[in-house]
Amino acid sequence: MEETSTTSLVKYSCRDQIATLMLNRPEKLNAFNDDLVRHLAAALRRFDLDPEAQIAVICGNGRAFSSGADVHQRQLRRREEFEQHGGPQGWGAHSGDLLTRSVNWKPVIAAPLPLRVRSR
């Protein structure tokens, strides 16, 4: 059974017990802004709770897996915002602990391109 969600910055699909979490901001080379971090956190929670998914593959849509942090967004923050958040990342968008919030400790790997799974 394959299920796909394409309404967010992270596309989630699951097939043959493999969940694919595709970063979906190709026009910015999948650079991590606050929204992308939040959407990836939600997709990882979804994977963690998905009884059909046993492993997750994070990949990027377009020509780059991810170019890293969206420096443009973070450089435009006002000093007050920077001090309020304790750094350049927005509230609830700290990426450092994305993978440590897992409950079930299922394996998560990163791949530059989406994996093609052959049916048995």
| CA separation for the pair 75, 13 (Å, rounded) | 33
Task: Write down the pLDDT at residue 6.
Answer: 46
Question: Greater confidence, 7 or 59?
Answer: 59
Looking at every residue in the chain, the average pLDDT score rounds to: 81
Domains of the chain: 3-110 (3.90.226.10)
Q: Encode burial over 36-62: b for 16+ CB neighbours within 10 A, e otherwise.
A: bbbbbbebbebbbebeebeebbbbbbe
Q: Which two tokens stand for residue 31?
A: 């650079």
**How far from 58 is each of 43, 64, 79, 88, CA to CA, in Å?**
10, 12, 33, 24
Partners of 44 in the β-ladder: none
Q: Using one digit for the tens of pLDDT, what is the confidence trace for 56-95? A: 999 999 999 999 888 777 667 677 776 676 666 665 666 6
Task: Report pLDDT for 1.
Answer: 42
Task: Kindly state the helix (H) or strand (E) to which residue 84 belongs, with its residue range.
Answer: helix 79-85
Give pTM, 2 decimals.
0.78
